[in-house]
Structure formats: C-alpha cells, structure tokens
C-alpha cells in the first residue's frame, strides 16, 4: 500500500468531492486523479486549495469514453467509482441512465483490466435491495438477508446490474498477470453540506411559507452523513490493498450507515432545518394505497400518450414506495471487515448541515429583498 494512487470518478459530485478531500489526508497517497464530466471553475478552485502531499490531477472526461477511461486508469492502484445518473422521476431518458450506470461501469472495469488496476470500489445504492412494496418492513437488514430490488425503473435496475458486474469481476486476471479485487458499498440517503436532496427540500419549503413537503412522512430510513460515507470508501480502498484484510472483503457488498437516528426523510429534513424556522406539514394527505394507485394511473396515462406526447408524471409507484417504506440497514459487516466506525456523530452532523442550511435561508431572503426593491 505505501505509495498508492487513486482515481475517483464522479469527482465533482456530492460524495466524490468528499472522498477526494478525505484522500488528501492520507499520508501514503502519491496521486489523486479526479475524473468528472463537467468541472466548474468552483470545482477546480476547491481542488487547487487541497492541502495534501499527493499530486492532484484533474481529468475532464465522460464515463462512456473508453479511451479516456484507459488513460485515466494508467498507473493507478485504486479506482473508486461514484459516477452515476440518479434519476427517480424519469426526467432523463431510460437508455441514458442505463448507459451511464451500467455500460459506464463495465467500460471502467475493462479499463482497469487493461491498465492492470488491482483494486475497484463501487459506490452502490440501497435501492438495489428494494423496497419492493411499501407494505414490506425491513429493519436493521443485513447482507446475509439477500434482499433484491424487482423494479424495472432505470435507476434501481441499472445500479443493481452494475453492482453484480463489479462483484462478478472480482478475481479477473489483469493484463500484467495480477488479479482484480472488487467490493461494493450500498449507500442510503446521504445528507450533509452541499446535499442536493436537502437543498431541494429546503428550497421547496422556503417557497411554501417554510412548510416541508409531506411526501415520505410514512418512511423509516437509515440515512448517512456524507463524511461517514466517504470514510467507508477510504477504508474499503485500504482494506482491499491489505493482504490480511483483503480476502474477507473481495467480492463482497456492504451496507453503510451511521448513528443518524432511523427516521423518515421528512423528519430528517425537519431535524436539520428546524433551527431556521422550517416546519412539518400538518395538513391532510391521501392514504398510501390511494397514492400508490394514483401513481399507477398516471404511469398508465404516460404510457398511452407516449406515441403522440411525452408526459412525465409528478410521481410514480417507485417513488411512492421508496418514500413510504420501513427500510433500514445495519453497518455491522462493514464494521467487522472494513473496521468502519462513523467519524462524525449525529449531533455534529446535524449542526454542520444546519449551519449550511442557514446559508440557503439567507440566500433566499436576499433574493426576496432584491425582488422587493
């Protein structure tokens, strides 16, 4: 492991950026390669400010560009693959999501074999495990339960198939005669400073007199703070390079969570934003079964109109199920094999995120003041 180097795909994303910041603290790391499709000047500025002994190389490239991937992989010892298309509502064409999440992952695996990269960590999702029905209750689930999503929606399907490809690639022969070692980390809802999920929920609430959306109030999930999620990826990278730990990790997947209380996404957003006056919606909402069948009706209308008109429903059955299920997981296996312990407590994570939400509230007030002037 001394003198190792790491390529991070999706390096400009929420999780990718945090992984790079944590890699920068690794003393033995010689080079960090940051691959992203569309780095902004702000991304580049943040990367240039990294205080690290490692060389930082910024690579602009597409996950579907095989030549770009081969160049990016040359000479690195670890690939952490976080690049993905996260689409729940069908805003992105199905084939695009499948190409990025599945084909892109396969191309990256092929590039690792060609460039003889021995370690590959895949940032997967709990959505590959379900939930398949809002009536299904999974509490503190574990890897041995073998939960698997049956949804054909492009996001859970493509993440599931990509994870299978990554784990199946474990043990593949590399061009230099070495062996590829892989594992996958199943990540739930990630929150923290810069989270698009949190930002979306907060901004919608600010436009609605400070009332948070109620969609998801029946769910119970096990969210994870972004720093803790990133830390799990660093530990997996170290573990797969460690001759003693590696045999137990190779070809395995792990659920990653932390000490954040298991709660609904709405309650999580409330806990993070209540210091700034945001509040829960106390109004009446449709019963779950009715909401589910309404989603089915909207999907049917969308399907029937497809030949003549592109109609995207405001919600679908997958979204209704995901946001209204009891679906939590334990990180005990990651604790055992990776030595994973959350670095940031729930209270510290809440405070950090709440301070950032405060800046969103101030921005909103600033815009309102500008309009009234």
Written as six digits, the tokens of 46 are 């943040």
Strands (E), 256-361: 326-329
Give the span between the Cα atoms of 38 and 61, in whole angstroms: 8
Distance CA 351, CA 12 (A): 24
What are the DSSP E strand ranges found in the chain?
4-9, 29-36, 55-60, 78-81, 119-125, 137-141, 181-187, 190-191, 220-221, 224-225, 252-255, 326-329
- What is d(CA 35, CA 217) in angstroms, rounded to the nearest whole number? 37
Tally Cβ neighbours within 10 Å of residue 94: 15
Q: Whose CA is closest to 11, among 26, 22, 25, 27? A: 22
How many angstroms from the chain centroid is the CA of residue 120?
16
- Residue appearing with tokens 């803790």: 228
End-to-end CA gap in the chain: 59
Cβ distance 221 to 264 under 8 Å? yes
Length of the chain: 373
What gap in Å lies between CA 188 and CA 52, rounded to an integer?
A: 29
Which residue(s) pair with 191 in the sheet? 225
Alpha-carbon distance 71 to 65, whole Å? Answer: 10
27 noted as active-site residue: no
In the set 53, 159, 160, 332, the catalytic residue is: 159
Pick the closest to residue 142 from 327, 332, 326 (CA basis).
332
Of 252, 250, 272, 253, nearest in space to 261 by CA: 272
Residues acting as catalytic residues: 159
């Amino acid at each position: 492991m001394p003198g190792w180097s790491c390529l991070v795909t999706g390096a400009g994303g929420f999780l990718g950026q945090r992984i790079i910041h944590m890699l920068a603290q690794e003393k033995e790391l010689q080079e960090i390669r940051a691959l992203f499709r569309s780095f902004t000047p702000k991304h580049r500025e943040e990367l240039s400010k990294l205080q690290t002994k490692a060389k930082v190389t910024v690579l602009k490239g597409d996950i579907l560009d095989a030549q770009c991937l081969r160049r990016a992989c040359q000479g690195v010892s670890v690939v952490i693959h976080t690049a993905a298309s996260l689409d729940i509502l069908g805003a992105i064409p199905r084939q695009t999501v499948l190409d990025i999440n599945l084909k892109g992952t396969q191309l990256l695996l092929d590039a690792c074999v060609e460039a003889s990269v021995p370690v590959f960590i895949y940032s997967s999702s709990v959505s590959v495990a379900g939930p398949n029905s809002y009536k299904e209750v999974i509490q503190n689930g574990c890897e041995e339960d073998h939960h698997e999503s049956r949804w054909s929606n492009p996001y859970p399907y493509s993440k599931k198939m990509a994870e299978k490809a990554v784990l199946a690639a474990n043990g593949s022969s590399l061009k230099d005669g070495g062996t590829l070692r892989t594992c996958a980390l199943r990540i739930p809802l990630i929150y923290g400073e810069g989270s698009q999920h949190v930002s979306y929920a907060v901004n919608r609430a600010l436009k609605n007199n400070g009332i948070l959306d109620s969609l998801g109030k029946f769910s119970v999930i096990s969210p994870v703070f972004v720093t803790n999620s990133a830390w799990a990826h660093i530990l997996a990278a170290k573990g797969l390079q460690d001759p003693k730990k590696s045999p137990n990790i190779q070809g395995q997947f792990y659920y990653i969570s932390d000490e954040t209380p298991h709660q609904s996404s709405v309650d999580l957003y409330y806990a993070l934003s209540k210091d700034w006056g945001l509040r829960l919606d106390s109004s009446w909402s449709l019963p779950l079964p009715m909401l589910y069948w309404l989603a089915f009706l909207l999907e049917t209308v969308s399907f029937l109109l497809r030949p003549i008109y592109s109609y995207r429903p405001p919600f679908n059955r997958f979204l209704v199920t995901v946001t209204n299920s009891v679906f939590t997981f334990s990180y005990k296996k990651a604790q055992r094999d990776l030595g994973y312990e959350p670095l940031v407590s729930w209270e510290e994570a809440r405070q950090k995120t709440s301070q950032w939400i405060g800046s969103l509230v101030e921005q909103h007030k600033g815009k309102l003041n500008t309009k009234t002037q």
